[in-house]
Amino acid sequence: MKSFSTILKLALAVSVPVSASAATIPAPPPQVAPIPVSLLVDLGSGQVLEQKHPDTPFLPASVTKVMTAFVAFEEIGAGRLSMDRQFQERPETEKEWFAKGTNMYITTKDRPTTRDLLHGIMTASANDAAVVLGEGYAGSIQAWAAKMNDAARRLGMTRSHYNTPNGWMDEGNTYVTASDLVRLADAMITRYPDLYREFSGHKRWVWRDVHMRSHDPTVGVVPGADGIKTGYTREAGYNFLGTAERGGRRLVMVLAGSPLPKVRDDAAKALLEWGFAAWDTRHLFDQGQTIAQAKVQGGDARSLPLVANREVHATIPRGTQPGITLAVHYDGPIKAPIRKGEQVGELEIRVAGLAPGRVPLYAGRDVGPAGWLDRLLNGLINLFT
Instruction: List the binding residues.
Output: 229
Instruction: List the binding residues for substrate.
Output: 229
- 190 or 374: which carries more pLDDT confidence? 190
Whose CA is closest to 312, among 337, 283, 288, 334? 283
Q: Running DSSP on this structure, what letter comes out for residue 51?
A: E
Mean pLDDT across 69-96: 98
Find all residues with CB under 8 Å of 258, minimum gap 6, and list them. Answer: 34, 35, 237, 238, 239, 240, 264, 267
Candidate CATH numbers 3.30.390.30, 3.40.630.30, 3.40.1780.10, 3.40.710.10; the one for domain 30-277: 3.40.710.10
Mean pLDDT across 2-27: 54
Say which of 65, 160, 179, 214 is annotated catalytic.
65
Q: What is the distance between the terminal CA atoms of the chain, rounded to a whole angstrom?
A: 20
Q: Is the pLDDT of residue 287 over 60?
A: yes
Share of the chain above pLDDT 90, in %: 88
160 is catalytic: no
The region of weakest confidence among 69-73, 324-328, 348-352, 377-381 is 377-381
Q: Is the pLDDT of residue 281 over 50?
A: yes
Q: Running DSSP on this structure, what letter comes out for residue 369?
A: B
pLDDT of residue 15: 39
pLDDT of residue 2: 42
Q: Report residue 97's pLDDT band, with 50, 70 and 90 as the boundaries.
A: very high
Q: What is the pTM of this model?
A: 0.92
3-state class of 254 per DSSP?
strand
Say which of 3, 9, 19, 62 is annotated catalytic.
62
pLDDT of residue 22: 75
- 227 with 186: CB under 8 angstroms? no
125 is catalytic: yes
Mean pLDDT across 48-53: 98
Q: SS3 string of 85-107?
A: CECCCCHHHHHHHCCCCCCCCCC
Q: Report residue 332's pLDDT band, with 50, 70 and 90 as the boundaries.
A: confident
- Does domain 3-22+283-384 match CATH 2.60.410.10? yes
Q: Is the pLDDT of residue 341 over 80?
A: yes
15 is catalytic: no
Q: Is the pLDDT of residue 149 over 80?
A: yes
In angstroms, the CA 351 to CA 227 distance is: 29
Mean pLDDT across 328-340: 94
All structural domains of the chain with their residue ranges: 3-22+283-384, 30-277
In angstroms, the CA 243 to CA 181 distance is: 12
Say which of 38, 125, 160, 214 is annotated catalytic.
125
Q: Is the pLDDT of residue 3 over 80?
A: no
